Chains A and B, each alone.
Chain A
Amino acid sequence: MSKFSYAAGLLLGALAAVILISQAATASGSPGSESVKDRIEQAIEPFDSLKVTTAYPLPVKTVEAKEQYQGGSFKVLARKDQITRFRCSVCHNDKMVKVRNGALFTHSDIQLNHGLGRNQLTCNECHAIENRDVLVDKQGGQIDFDHSYQLCGKCHFRQKRDWLGGAHGKRETYWAGERVIRNCTSCHNPHSPAFPTKMPATYSLPLDE
Protein backbone atom coordinates (compact mmCIF):
# COMPACT_ATOMS: atom_id res chain seq x y z
CA MET A 1 0.00 0.00 0.00
CA SER A 2 2.72 2.42 0.96
CA LYS A 3 4.53 1.86 -2.29
CA PHE A 4 1.34 2.51 -4.20
CA SER A 5 0.60 5.75 -2.38
CA TYR A 6 4.21 6.85 -2.76
CA ALA A 7 3.97 6.43 -6.51
CA ALA A 8 0.59 8.14 -6.55
CA GLY A 9 2.06 10.97 -4.55
CA LEU A 10 4.85 11.36 -7.06
CA LEU A 11 2.36 11.48 -9.90
CA LEU A 12 0.27 14.03 -8.07
CA GLY A 13 3.38 16.02 -7.25
CA ALA A 14 4.33 16.17 -10.88
CA LEU A 15 0.84 17.38 -11.76
CA ALA A 16 0.87 19.97 -9.00
CA ALA A 17 4.31 21.09 -10.11
CA VAL A 18 3.05 21.93 -13.54
CA ILE A 19 0.25 24.01 -12.07
CA LEU A 20 2.47 25.68 -9.51
CA ILE A 21 5.25 26.49 -11.90
CA SER A 22 2.80 28.22 -14.20
CA GLN A 23 1.47 30.12 -11.18
CA ALA A 24 4.90 31.04 -9.94
CA ALA A 25 5.78 32.51 -13.31
CA THR A 26 3.12 35.15 -12.81
CA ALA A 27 3.25 35.55 -9.05
CA SER A 28 6.87 35.61 -7.99
CA GLY A 29 8.60 38.08 -10.29
CA SER A 30 12.09 39.25 -9.55
CA PRO A 31 13.33 40.18 -6.08
CA GLY A 32 12.44 43.80 -5.49
CA SER A 33 14.45 46.73 -4.26
CA GLU A 34 14.28 45.78 -0.60
CA SER A 35 16.78 43.00 -0.08
CA VAL A 36 17.51 41.14 3.12
CA LYS A 37 20.49 43.48 3.51
CA ASP A 38 18.16 46.47 3.65
CA ARG A 39 15.98 44.72 6.16
CA ILE A 40 19.02 44.03 8.32
CA GLU A 41 20.28 47.58 8.10
CA GLN A 42 16.89 48.95 9.07
CA ALA A 43 16.83 46.82 12.24
CA ILE A 44 18.40 49.17 14.77
CA GLU A 45 16.50 48.21 17.91
CA PRO A 46 18.71 46.01 20.13
CA PHE A 47 17.25 42.56 20.74
CA ASP A 48 16.68 41.67 24.38
CA SER A 49 18.72 38.47 24.45
CA LEU A 50 17.94 37.88 28.10
CA LYS A 51 14.35 37.02 27.28
CA VAL A 52 15.52 33.79 25.67
CA THR A 53 15.30 32.11 29.05
CA THR A 54 16.46 28.74 27.76
CA ALA A 55 19.95 30.13 27.11
CA TYR A 56 20.97 29.04 30.60
CA PRO A 57 22.57 27.70 32.67
CA LEU A 58 26.07 28.58 31.57
CA PRO A 59 28.17 25.44 31.52
CA VAL A 60 31.35 27.21 32.56
CA LYS A 61 32.79 29.55 35.13
CA THR A 62 32.87 33.13 33.90
CA VAL A 63 34.11 36.54 34.97
CA GLU A 64 32.90 39.99 34.03
CA ALA A 65 35.19 41.41 31.34
CA LYS A 66 36.97 44.67 32.08
CA GLU A 67 36.01 46.11 28.70
CA GLN A 68 32.86 46.81 26.72
CA TYR A 69 31.59 45.62 23.37
CA GLN A 70 29.00 47.30 21.13
CA GLY A 71 26.21 45.96 23.37
CA GLY A 72 27.76 47.01 26.71
CA SER A 73 29.35 44.73 29.27
CA PHE A 74 29.95 41.02 28.75
CA LYS A 75 31.64 38.03 30.32
CA VAL A 76 34.61 35.86 29.46
CA LEU A 77 35.53 32.32 30.46
CA ALA A 78 37.51 32.27 33.67
CA ARG A 79 41.07 31.10 33.27
CA LYS A 80 42.60 30.74 36.72
CA ASP A 81 40.78 27.56 37.70
CA GLN A 82 41.88 25.99 34.42
CA ILE A 83 45.52 26.39 35.43
CA THR A 84 46.14 23.20 37.36
CA ARG A 85 48.89 24.54 39.61
CA PHE A 86 47.52 28.00 40.28
CA ARG A 87 48.43 29.89 42.46
CA CYS A 88 51.94 30.02 41.13
CA SER A 89 53.32 31.44 44.37
CA VAL A 90 52.66 28.09 46.04
CA CYS A 91 55.98 27.04 44.45
CA HIS A 92 57.45 30.37 43.41
CA ASN A 93 58.41 31.61 46.86
CA ASP A 94 61.42 31.78 49.14
CA LYS A 95 61.35 28.12 50.12
CA MET A 96 64.00 25.76 48.81
CA VAL A 97 63.07 23.07 46.30
CA LYS A 98 64.39 19.53 46.78
CA VAL A 99 66.52 18.35 43.85
CA ARG A 100 64.47 15.18 43.35
CA ASN A 101 61.39 17.36 42.72
CA GLY A 102 63.25 19.56 40.29
CA ALA A 103 61.98 18.00 37.07
CA LEU A 104 58.39 18.22 38.26
CA PHE A 105 58.75 21.85 39.22
CA THR A 106 60.49 23.28 36.19
CA HIS A 107 57.66 23.37 33.63
CA SER A 108 59.69 21.05 31.42
CA ASP A 109 56.46 20.18 29.56
CA ILE A 110 56.08 23.68 28.13
CA GLN A 111 57.15 24.13 24.52
CA LEU A 112 57.59 27.80 23.84
CA ASN A 113 56.82 28.77 20.26
CA HIS A 114 55.36 32.25 20.33
CA GLY A 115 56.61 35.00 18.06
CA LEU A 116 58.39 34.80 14.72
CA GLY A 117 62.07 34.08 14.21
CA ARG A 118 64.26 36.29 16.33
CA ASN A 119 61.25 37.77 18.05
CA GLN A 120 60.46 34.61 20.02
CA LEU A 121 59.07 35.58 23.38
CA THR A 122 60.69 34.54 26.63
CA CYS A 123 58.91 33.64 29.90
CA ASN A 124 59.23 36.99 31.57
CA GLU A 125 57.85 39.00 28.72
CA CYS A 126 54.43 37.84 29.89
CA HIS A 127 55.03 36.47 33.39
CA ALA A 128 55.92 38.92 36.14
CA ILE A 129 59.27 38.23 37.83
CA GLU A 130 58.23 39.77 41.11
CA ASN A 131 54.72 38.33 41.35
CA ARG A 132 54.19 34.99 39.61
CA ASP A 133 50.44 35.08 40.25
CA VAL A 134 49.89 37.73 37.59
CA LEU A 135 50.90 38.52 34.03
CA VAL A 136 52.83 41.62 33.15
CA ASP A 137 52.94 43.91 30.12
CA LYS A 138 55.90 45.83 28.69
CA GLN A 139 55.17 48.87 30.85
CA GLY A 140 55.16 46.72 33.98
CA GLY A 141 51.39 46.80 34.38
CA GLN A 142 50.00 43.75 36.16
CA ILE A 143 47.30 41.73 34.40
CA ASP A 144 45.10 39.09 35.95
CA PHE A 145 45.19 35.62 34.32
CA ASP A 146 41.40 35.82 33.87
CA HIS A 147 41.84 38.92 31.73
CA SER A 148 44.68 37.78 29.51
CA TYR A 149 43.03 39.55 26.51
CA GLN A 150 44.39 42.74 28.02
CA LEU A 151 47.90 41.42 27.55
CA CYS A 152 47.47 39.60 24.23
CA GLY A 153 45.75 42.65 22.78
CA LYS A 154 48.88 44.73 23.35
CA CYS A 155 50.48 43.07 20.32
CA HIS A 156 47.45 41.52 18.63
CA PHE A 157 45.35 44.67 18.69
CA ARG A 158 43.54 43.93 15.43
CA GLN A 159 42.50 40.51 16.66
CA LYS A 160 41.43 42.08 19.92
CA ARG A 161 39.21 44.59 18.14
CA ASP A 162 37.58 41.76 16.19
CA TRP A 163 37.30 39.66 19.33
CA LEU A 164 35.51 42.40 21.21
CA GLY A 165 33.01 42.82 18.39
CA GLY A 166 32.60 39.13 17.63
CA ALA A 167 34.50 38.52 14.37
CA HIS A 168 37.36 36.70 16.15
CA GLY A 169 36.91 34.03 18.79
CA LYS A 170 33.54 32.65 19.73
CA ARG A 171 30.62 32.70 22.10
CA GLU A 172 30.24 29.94 24.65
CA THR A 173 27.37 27.54 23.79
CA TYR A 174 24.66 30.21 23.31
CA TRP A 175 23.96 32.95 20.78
CA ALA A 176 21.34 34.37 23.16
CA GLY A 177 21.27 35.13 26.87
CA GLU A 178 24.12 36.96 28.54
CA ARG A 179 27.06 37.45 26.22
CA VAL A 180 29.79 35.03 27.30
CA ILE A 181 32.77 34.67 25.00
CA ARG A 182 35.92 32.62 25.13
CA ASN A 183 39.11 34.10 26.41
CA CYS A 184 42.21 34.14 24.16
CA THR A 185 43.65 31.27 26.17
CA SER A 186 40.45 29.19 25.88
CA CYS A 187 41.37 28.40 22.27
CA HIS A 188 45.06 29.30 21.93
CA ASN A 189 47.83 27.71 23.92
CA PRO A 190 49.59 30.90 25.01
CA HIS A 191 52.99 29.23 24.82
CA SER A 192 52.39 27.99 21.27
CA PRO A 193 49.38 29.88 19.95
CA ALA A 194 49.26 28.67 16.34
CA PHE A 195 46.73 25.89 15.68
CA PRO A 196 48.33 22.49 15.08
CA THR A 197 48.40 20.46 11.88
CA LYS A 198 46.36 17.29 12.29
CA MET A 199 44.02 14.82 10.58
CA PRO A 200 40.47 16.06 10.04
CA ALA A 201 37.72 14.66 12.27
CA THR A 202 36.06 12.87 9.34
CA TYR A 203 35.94 12.76 5.54
CA SER A 204 33.29 13.28 2.86
CA LEU A 205 31.97 11.14 0.05
CA PRO A 206 31.03 12.68 -3.29
CA LEU A 207 27.53 14.15 -3.41
CA ASP A 208 25.17 11.98 -5.42
CA GLU A 209 23.92 14.80 -7.63
Chain B
Amino acid sequence: MDSGNNQIEKMQTENMPEKKSSRRDFLKNMSIAAAAGSAGLVVGGCSGTPATEKMGLKWEEYFKKHYRLMTQEEKDATVTRLERLAKLERGINVQISDQGPHEQVLFGYAFNISRCKGYMDCVEACVRENNLDRRTKTQYVRIFEMDPGQLDPSAGDGQYHHEVPVKNKFYMGVQCFHCENAPCIKACPTKATWREPDGIVVIDYDWCIGCRYCLAACPYWGRRFNWGDPEVPKDEINLNQHYLGNRMRMKGVMEKCTFCIQRTRKGKLPACADACPTGSRVFGNLLDPNSEIRFVLKNKKVFRFKEDLGTEPKFWYFMD
Protein backbone atom coordinates (compact mmCIF):
# COMPACT_ATOMS: atom_id res chain seq x y z
CA MET B 1 0.00 0.00 0.00
CA ASP B 2 2.36 2.68 -1.15
CA SER B 3 -0.14 4.36 -3.39
CA GLY B 4 -0.75 8.02 -3.92
CA ASN B 5 -3.77 7.91 -1.66
CA ASN B 6 -1.54 6.89 1.17
CA GLN B 7 0.57 9.85 0.53
CA ILE B 8 -2.49 12.04 0.76
CA GLU B 9 -3.47 10.17 3.87
CA LYS B 10 -0.10 10.99 5.39
CA MET B 11 -0.33 14.60 4.35
CA GLN B 12 -3.78 15.14 5.71
CA THR B 13 -4.34 12.90 8.67
CA GLU B 14 -0.95 11.85 9.96
CA ASN B 15 1.29 14.78 9.41
CA MET B 16 0.89 16.43 12.76
CA PRO B 17 1.79 20.02 13.29
CA GLU B 18 5.38 20.13 14.44
CA LYS B 19 6.07 20.15 18.13
CA LYS B 20 8.41 23.09 17.87
CA SER B 21 5.37 25.00 16.68
CA SER B 22 6.56 28.38 15.69
CA ARG B 23 3.20 30.11 15.93
CA ARG B 24 2.68 29.14 19.49
CA ASP B 25 6.16 30.00 20.66
CA PHE B 26 6.05 33.22 18.81
CA LEU B 27 2.78 34.27 20.35
CA LYS B 28 3.86 33.02 23.72
CA ASN B 29 7.04 35.03 23.74
CA MET B 30 5.18 38.05 22.59
CA SER B 31 2.51 37.72 25.20
CA ILE B 32 5.01 37.16 27.96
CA ALA B 33 6.67 40.36 26.92
CA ALA B 34 3.31 42.06 26.95
CA ALA B 35 2.44 40.59 30.31
CA ALA B 36 5.74 41.73 31.77
CA GLY B 37 4.79 45.22 30.74
CA SER B 38 1.35 45.17 32.28
CA ALA B 39 1.75 44.41 35.93
CA GLY B 40 -0.09 41.88 38.04
CA LEU B 41 -1.53 39.35 35.65
CA VAL B 42 -2.83 36.23 37.34
CA VAL B 43 -1.25 33.12 35.89
CA GLY B 44 -3.36 30.00 36.18
CA GLY B 45 -5.41 31.52 38.94
CA CYS B 46 -8.75 29.75 39.36
CA SER B 47 -9.79 31.27 42.65
CA GLY B 48 -11.04 34.62 43.73
CA THR B 49 -13.67 36.64 41.93
CA PRO B 50 -15.31 35.48 38.70
CA ALA B 51 -13.34 38.17 36.91
CA THR B 52 -9.98 36.82 38.02
CA GLU B 53 -11.14 33.24 37.43
CA LYS B 54 -12.12 34.19 33.92
CA MET B 55 -8.82 35.87 33.32
CA GLY B 56 -6.93 32.84 34.58
CA LEU B 57 -8.92 30.47 32.41
CA LYS B 58 -8.36 32.64 29.37
CA TRP B 59 -4.68 32.79 30.10
CA GLU B 60 -4.43 29.00 30.18
CA GLU B 61 -6.58 28.72 27.09
CA TYR B 62 -4.28 31.08 25.30
CA PHE B 63 -1.29 28.79 25.66
CA LYS B 64 -2.89 25.47 24.99
CA LYS B 65 -1.60 23.23 22.22
CA HIS B 66 -2.97 22.37 18.83
CA TYR B 67 -5.81 19.89 19.37
CA ARG B 68 -3.98 17.05 17.67
CA LEU B 69 -0.95 17.44 19.90
CA MET B 70 -2.95 17.35 23.12
CA THR B 71 -2.97 14.31 25.36
CA GLN B 72 -6.38 13.09 26.50
CA GLU B 73 -5.84 14.89 29.83
CA GLU B 74 -5.07 18.12 28.06
CA LYS B 75 -8.16 17.73 25.88
CA ASP B 76 -10.31 17.13 28.92
CA ALA B 77 -8.74 20.13 30.65
CA THR B 78 -9.43 22.55 27.82
CA VAL B 79 -12.97 21.25 27.47
CA THR B 80 -13.52 21.85 31.19
CA ARG B 81 -12.10 25.35 30.89
CA LEU B 82 -14.28 26.18 27.89
CA GLU B 83 -17.39 24.89 29.65
CA ARG B 84 -16.58 27.00 32.68
CA LEU B 85 -15.90 30.04 30.51
CA ALA B 86 -19.25 29.63 28.79
CA LYS B 87 -20.84 29.63 32.23
CA LEU B 88 -18.95 32.73 33.35
CA GLU B 89 -19.29 34.70 30.15
CA ARG B 90 -22.70 33.72 28.85
CA GLY B 91 -24.33 32.07 31.83
CA ILE B 92 -25.01 28.84 29.96
CA ASN B 93 -24.24 25.21 30.82
CA VAL B 94 -22.67 23.83 27.67
CA GLN B 95 -21.30 20.32 27.34
CA ILE B 96 -18.31 20.15 25.03
CA SER B 97 -17.33 16.72 23.81
CA ASP B 98 -13.89 15.63 22.66
CA GLN B 99 -15.14 12.24 21.48
CA GLY B 100 -12.83 10.72 18.88
CA PRO B 101 -13.69 8.80 15.72
CA HIS B 102 -15.03 5.23 15.61
CA GLU B 103 -12.83 2.62 14.01
CA GLN B 104 -13.90 1.28 10.62
CA VAL B 105 -16.04 4.33 9.95
CA LEU B 106 -15.67 6.69 7.01
CA PHE B 107 -18.57 9.10 6.69
CA GLY B 108 -20.17 9.79 3.35
CA TYR B 109 -23.20 11.60 2.04
CA ALA B 110 -25.53 11.25 -0.92
CA PHE B 111 -28.08 13.79 -2.14
CA ASN B 112 -31.07 12.86 -4.28
CA ILE B 113 -31.58 15.62 -6.84
CA SER B 114 -34.81 14.10 -8.10
CA ARG B 115 -36.42 14.16 -4.63
CA CYS B 116 -35.36 17.48 -3.11
CA LYS B 117 -38.24 19.97 -3.15
CA GLY B 118 -36.24 23.03 -2.09
CA TYR B 119 -37.98 23.32 1.30
CA MET B 120 -34.73 24.29 3.07
CA ASP B 121 -35.65 22.60 6.34
CA CYS B 122 -32.07 21.30 6.26
CA VAL B 123 -30.61 24.81 6.12
CA GLU B 124 -32.64 25.93 9.10
CA ALA B 125 -31.90 22.79 11.14
CA CYS B 126 -28.18 23.24 10.49
CA VAL B 127 -28.23 26.87 11.64
CA ARG B 128 -29.83 25.85 14.93
CA GLU B 129 -27.77 22.72 15.50
CA ASN B 130 -24.44 24.36 14.79
CA ASN B 131 -24.96 27.71 16.53
CA LEU B 132 -24.47 29.67 13.33
CA ASP B 133 -24.31 33.45 13.41
CA ARG B 134 -27.82 34.83 13.15
CA ARG B 135 -26.71 38.41 12.54
CA THR B 136 -25.01 37.79 9.19
CA LYS B 137 -27.24 34.78 8.51
CA THR B 138 -24.39 32.31 8.13
CA GLN B 139 -25.46 29.00 6.56
CA TYR B 140 -23.34 25.94 5.89
CA VAL B 141 -25.92 24.36 3.59
CA ARG B 142 -27.06 26.09 0.42
CA ILE B 143 -29.86 24.95 -1.87
CA PHE B 144 -29.80 26.00 -5.52
CA GLU B 145 -32.83 26.09 -7.77
CA MET B 146 -31.75 24.67 -11.10
CA ASP B 147 -33.04 24.37 -14.64
CA PRO B 148 -33.16 20.91 -16.19
CA GLY B 149 -29.86 19.93 -17.72
CA GLN B 150 -27.78 22.15 -15.46
CA LEU B 151 -25.45 20.31 -13.14
CA ASP B 152 -23.33 23.17 -11.84
CA PRO B 153 -24.93 24.96 -8.87
CA SER B 154 -23.20 28.22 -9.76
CA ALA B 155 -25.56 28.37 -12.74
CA GLY B 156 -28.58 27.96 -10.44
CA ASP B 157 -30.43 30.37 -8.16
CA GLY B 158 -29.19 30.25 -4.57
CA GLN B 159 -31.41 33.08 -3.31
CA TYR B 160 -34.87 31.93 -4.33
CA HIS B 161 -37.74 32.90 -2.09
CA HIS B 162 -41.06 31.69 -3.40
CA GLU B 163 -43.28 28.67 -3.10
CA VAL B 164 -41.44 25.46 -3.90
CA PRO B 165 -41.11 23.18 -5.73
CA VAL B 166 -41.45 25.13 -8.97
CA LYS B 167 -42.52 23.08 -11.94
CA ASN B 168 -39.64 22.07 -14.20
CA LYS B 169 -36.97 23.09 -11.71
CA PHE B 170 -34.87 20.85 -9.56
CA TYR B 171 -32.97 21.53 -6.36
CA MET B 172 -29.37 20.86 -5.50
CA GLY B 173 -27.82 21.10 -2.03
CA VAL B 174 -24.22 22.17 -1.51
CA GLN B 175 -22.13 22.15 1.65
CA CYS B 176 -18.61 21.10 2.60
CA PHE B 177 -18.02 17.81 0.81
CA HIS B 178 -15.31 16.56 3.16
CA CYS B 179 -12.89 15.89 0.35
CA GLU B 180 -10.46 13.04 0.87
CA ASN B 181 -7.90 15.05 -1.06
CA ALA B 182 -8.92 18.44 0.26
CA PRO B 183 -7.34 21.56 -1.20
CA CYS B 184 -8.36 23.58 1.85
CA ILE B 185 -6.14 21.42 4.06
CA LYS B 186 -3.16 21.89 1.82
CA ALA B 187 -3.69 25.64 1.77
CA CYS B 188 -3.70 26.15 5.53
CA PRO B 189 -0.37 27.58 6.72
CA THR B 190 -0.91 26.68 10.38
CA LYS B 191 -2.36 23.20 9.94
CA ALA B 192 -5.45 24.43 11.72
CA THR B 193 -7.63 22.31 9.44
CA TRP B 194 -7.24 18.62 8.78
CA ARG B 195 -9.08 15.43 7.97
CA GLU B 196 -10.01 13.13 10.84
CA PRO B 197 -9.70 9.34 10.46
CA ASP B 198 -13.50 9.07 9.99
CA GLY B 199 -13.21 11.42 7.03
CA ILE B 200 -14.54 14.62 8.60
CA VAL B 201 -12.58 17.73 7.69
CA VAL B 202 -12.38 19.83 10.85
CA ILE B 203 -10.93 23.12 12.07
CA ASP B 204 -9.21 23.87 15.37
CA TYR B 205 -10.80 27.28 15.88
CA ASP B 206 -8.14 28.20 18.41
CA TRP B 207 -5.39 27.52 15.93
CA CYS B 208 -6.92 29.27 12.95
CA ILE B 209 -5.32 32.64 12.26
CA GLY B 210 -8.05 33.78 9.90
CA CYS B 211 -5.93 34.09 6.79
CA ARG B 212 -8.75 32.62 4.65
CA TYR B 213 -6.40 30.75 2.32
CA CYS B 214 -8.60 27.67 2.75
CA LEU B 215 -11.68 29.58 1.68
CA ALA B 216 -9.94 30.61 -1.49
CA ALA B 217 -8.70 27.08 -2.09
CA CYS B 218 -12.08 25.35 -1.71
CA PRO B 219 -13.69 24.82 -5.11
CA TYR B 220 -17.13 24.21 -3.55
CA TRP B 221 -17.85 27.33 -1.43
CA GLY B 222 -17.61 25.06 1.62
CA ARG B 223 -16.11 27.53 4.08
CA ARG B 224 -17.52 30.47 6.06
CA PHE B 225 -15.51 33.21 7.70
CA ASN B 226 -16.42 35.08 10.87
CA TRP B 227 -15.85 38.76 10.17
CA GLY B 228 -17.41 39.53 13.52
CA ASP B 229 -18.26 37.66 16.71
CA PRO B 230 -21.06 35.21 15.89
CA GLU B 231 -24.34 36.08 17.60
CA VAL B 232 -26.83 33.48 18.77
CA PRO B 233 -29.74 34.31 21.11
CA LYS B 234 -28.94 32.76 24.49
CA ASP B 235 -32.02 30.56 24.58
CA GLU B 236 -31.30 29.22 21.10
CA ILE B 237 -27.74 28.05 21.78
CA ASN B 238 -27.33 24.32 21.28
CA LEU B 239 -25.64 23.21 24.48
CA ASN B 240 -24.50 19.84 23.14
CA GLN B 241 -21.24 20.80 21.53
CA HIS B 242 -18.02 19.30 20.23
CA TYR B 243 -14.57 20.86 20.35
CA LEU B 244 -14.16 20.37 16.59
CA GLY B 245 -17.81 21.08 15.84
CA ASN B 246 -20.47 23.50 16.98
CA ARG B 247 -18.79 25.08 19.99
CA MET B 248 -18.96 28.85 19.87
CA ARG B 249 -16.63 30.34 17.30
CA MET B 250 -15.06 33.76 17.59
CA LYS B 251 -14.28 36.72 15.42
CA GLY B 252 -11.61 36.11 12.82
CA VAL B 253 -11.85 32.33 12.47
CA MET B 254 -13.00 30.02 9.73
CA GLU B 255 -15.84 27.55 10.15
CA LYS B 256 -17.80 25.12 8.02
CA CYS B 257 -19.96 22.01 7.98
CA THR B 258 -18.49 19.25 10.16
CA PHE B 259 -21.04 16.58 9.22
CA CYS B 260 -22.41 17.53 12.67
CA ILE B 261 -19.46 15.84 14.37
CA GLN B 262 -21.19 16.30 17.74
CA ARG B 263 -24.10 14.18 16.49
CA THR B 264 -22.58 11.75 14.02
CA ARG B 265 -19.88 10.43 16.35
CA LYS B 266 -22.73 9.53 18.70
CA GLY B 267 -24.44 7.58 15.94
CA LYS B 268 -26.97 10.26 15.00
CA LEU B 269 -27.67 11.57 11.54
CA PRO B 270 -26.42 15.08 10.77
CA ALA B 271 -29.10 17.67 11.51
CA CYS B 272 -29.71 18.34 7.80
CA ALA B 273 -30.34 14.68 6.99
CA ASP B 274 -32.51 14.29 10.07
CA ALA B 275 -34.60 17.35 9.20
CA CYS B 276 -35.17 16.59 5.53
CA PRO B 277 -38.88 15.76 5.07
CA THR B 278 -38.39 14.25 1.62
CA GLY B 279 -35.64 11.71 2.32
CA SER B 280 -33.30 13.33 -0.18
CA ARG B 281 -30.36 13.12 2.18
CA VAL B 282 -28.60 9.80 2.76
CA PHE B 283 -25.78 9.62 5.30
CA GLY B 284 -23.76 6.73 6.61
CA ASN B 285 -20.62 4.64 6.85
CA LEU B 286 -18.87 4.20 3.51
CA LEU B 287 -16.89 1.26 4.86
CA ASP B 288 -20.02 -0.73 5.73
CA PRO B 289 -21.22 -2.73 2.71
CA ASN B 290 -24.72 -2.91 4.25
CA SER B 291 -25.14 0.82 4.76
CA GLU B 292 -27.68 2.94 2.89
CA ILE B 293 -24.95 5.10 1.39
CA ARG B 294 -23.24 2.02 -0.04
CA PHE B 295 -26.55 0.90 -1.53
CA VAL B 296 -26.86 4.26 -3.27
CA LEU B 297 -23.32 4.14 -4.62
CA LYS B 298 -23.86 0.63 -5.91
CA ASN B 299 -27.37 0.85 -7.35
CA LYS B 300 -27.94 4.45 -8.38
CA LYS B 301 -26.56 6.72 -11.01
CA VAL B 302 -24.21 8.90 -8.97
CA PHE B 303 -21.88 11.77 -9.73
CA ARG B 304 -19.74 14.17 -7.81
CA PHE B 305 -19.38 17.90 -8.32
CA LYS B 306 -16.20 18.87 -10.23
CA GLU B 307 -15.03 15.27 -10.13
CA ASP B 308 -12.14 16.05 -12.49
CA LEU B 309 -10.41 18.22 -9.89
CA GLY B 310 -9.31 15.08 -8.06
CA THR B 311 -10.49 16.45 -4.72
CA GLU B 312 -12.35 13.21 -3.99
CA PRO B 313 -15.41 14.66 -2.26
CA LYS B 314 -17.28 12.19 -0.06
CA PHE B 315 -20.59 13.67 -1.21
CA TRP B 316 -22.43 12.22 -4.17
CA TYR B 317 -25.50 13.35 -6.08
CA PHE B 318 -27.90 10.76 -7.37
CA MET B 319 -31.15 10.39 -9.25
CA ASP B 320 -34.08 8.03 -8.75
Chain A residues at the B interface, C-beta cutoff of 8 Å? 1, 4-6, 8-10, 12-17, 20, 24, 27-36, 38-40, 43-47, 49, 52, 54-55, 69-72, 158, 162, 165-171, 173-177, 182, 187, 195, 197-209
Is residue B20 within 8 Å, beta carbon to beta carbon, of the partner chain?
no
Residues of B within 8 A of A24 (CB): 11, 186
Bound CA–CA A47/B106 (angstroms): 11
The residue of chain A having its C-beta at the shortest distance from the C-beta of B112 within the complex is: A167
Is residue B165 within 8 Å, beta carbon to beta carbon, of the partner chain?
yes
Given A27-B11, A166-B291, A182-B279, 14 more pairs with CB closer than 8 A = A4-B30, A12-B26, A14-B189, A24-B11, A28-B8, A28-B186, A30-B310, A39-B287, A47-B288, A170-B273, A170-B282, A175-B292, A200-B164, A203-B161
The residue of chain A having its C-beta at the shortest distance from the C-beta of B166 within the complex is: A197
A interface: dominant SS = loop
The residue of chain A having its C-beta at the shortest distance from the C-beta of B141 within the complex is: A204
Bound CA–CA A174/B285 (angstroms): 12
Contact B285 A168 (CB under 8 A): no
Residues of A within 8 A of B180 (CB): 35-36
Q: Which size class do B's interface residues fall under? A: 35 or more
Residue with the highest number of chain A CB atoms closer than 10 Å, among B118, B216, B221, B268: B268
The verdict on A16 contacting B120 (CB below 8 Å), with A47-B288, A70-B290, A175-B284 known, is no
Bound CA–CA A21/B190 (angstroms): 12
Contact A34 B5 (CB under 8 A): yes
Chain B residues at the A interface, C-beta cutoff of 8 Å? 1, 3-8, 11, 22-23, 26-27, 30-31, 34, 102, 104-106, 108, 110, 112, 115, 117-121, 123-124, 127, 136-137, 139, 142-143, 158-165, 180-181, 186-187, 189-190, 209-211, 213, 215-216, 221, 225, 227, 252, 264, 266-269, 273-274, 276-279, 281-297, 299-300, 310, 312, 314, 318, 320
